[in-house]
């Protein structure tokens, strides 16, 4: 059994996690646990979560990166579920030997996570707290599946169903055509204002 612990606080706006979640939910042998659906009031049932983990061989933590970290409900899940005497400490071996795969999606691309980029550090510098959480519980840390540049990817690859998202895609594609050398990664007007990369919208 694979237990996917998923946390996205804004599922209606999600593109990348939604595509991953739809694919994972359809697989046999996957217990897909969407924390914001299960616990919208943050009242986590730790016993139910522990039972789900006990049945798993592989535990997946999947979420968008929010301010360089995990969403608040996943942090709360870690605090409540990975308890002393169960996950660590005296008698706490429930997760020992299980595999752990981290699947964070990040809006930034590899240039943003370069030393001179807007995030200032490589993505790997933000990973040790998550990795050590798994290792502290005796889990086997797998190489993470990091989805970079999630918004850019969504602009090209995923269905944009609402008018706002279609506007986002149009705006991005205009950048591709108008300024191919410089700011092709611009995905929203917000970034135009920050980087002074505005281009005139063409009449259609
Ligand atoms: C409150 C907030 C904080 C964010 N912080 C970061 C961040 O620190 N680094 C980053 O690369 N992206 C950041 N993002 C972008 C999200 O990670 C990105 O939109 C998400 O992974 C895309 O996946 P989705 O389509 O499933 O929402 C942030 C987004 C929000 C809403």
One domain for residues 16 and 105: yes
> Sorting pLDDT into bands at 50, 70 and 90, what band is 58?
very high
On average, the pLDDT of the chain sits at 87
One domain for residues 87 and 126: yes
One domain for residues 197 and 114: no
Does 203 map to a domain? yes
One domain for residues 101 and 182: no
Does 148 map to a domain? no
Strands (E) located in the chain:
2-6, 30-34, 58-64, 99-105, 140-141
Please give the tally of structural domains in the chain. Answer: 2
One domain for residues 43 and 119: yes
Q: Which range marks the domain in which residue 168 is found?
A: 161-204
CATH of the domain at 108: 3.40.50.360
pLDDT digits (tens, 9 = 90+) for 2-15: 999 999 999 888 98
| Cα dihedral 35/40/42/46 (nearest 10) | -50
Does 146 map to a domain? no
pLDDT digits (tens, 9 = 90+) for 136-171: 999 999 999 998 877 777 777 777 777 777 777 777
Determine the pLDDT at residue 204. Answer: 44
Distance 65 CA to ligand 1 centre (A): 5
Atom of ligand 1 nearest to the CA of 69: 8
Atom of ligand 1 nearest to the CA of 17: 26
Determine the pLDDT at residue 162. Answer: 76
The residue whose CA is least distant from atom 30 of ligand 1 is 66
pLDDT exceeds cutoff 50 at 85: yes
**Residues in Cβ contact with 132 at an 8 Å cutoff, skipping those fewer than 6 apart:** none
Q: Tell me which long-range contacts 21-28 makes (C-beta under 8 A, separation of at least 24).
A: 21/62, 24/60, 24/62, 27/2
pLDDT exceeds cutoff 80 at 174: no
Atom of ligand 1 nearest to the CA of 113: 11
Distance 149 CA to ligand 1 centre (A): 9
Does 150 map to a domain? no
One domain for residues 97 and 181: no
């Amino acid at each position: 059994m694979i237990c996917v612990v998923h946390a996205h606080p804004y599922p209606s706006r999600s593109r990348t996690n939604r595509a991953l979640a739809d694919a994972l939910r359809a697989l046999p042998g996957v217990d897909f646990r969407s924390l914001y659906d299960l616990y919208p009031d943050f009242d986590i049932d730790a016993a139910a979560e522990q039972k789900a983990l006990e049945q798993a061989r592989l535990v997946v933590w999947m979420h968008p990166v929010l301010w360089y970290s995990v969403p608040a409900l996943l942090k709360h899940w870690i605090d409540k579920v990975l308890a002393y005497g169960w996950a660590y400490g005296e008698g706490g071996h429930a997760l020992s030997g299980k595999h752990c795969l981290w699947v964070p999606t990040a809006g930034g691309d590899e240039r943003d996570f370069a030393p001179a980029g807007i995030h200032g550090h490589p993505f790997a510098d933000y990973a040790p707290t998550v990795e050590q959480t798994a290792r502290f519980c005796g889990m086997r840390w797998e190489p993470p599946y990091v989805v970079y540049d999630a918004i850019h990817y969504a602009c090209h690859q995923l269905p944009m169903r609402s008018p706002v998202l279609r506007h986002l895609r149009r705006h991005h594609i205009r950048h591709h055509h108008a300024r191919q050398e410089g700011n092709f990664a611009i995905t929203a007007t917000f970034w135009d204002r920050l980087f002074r990369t505005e281009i005139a919208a063409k009449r259609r």
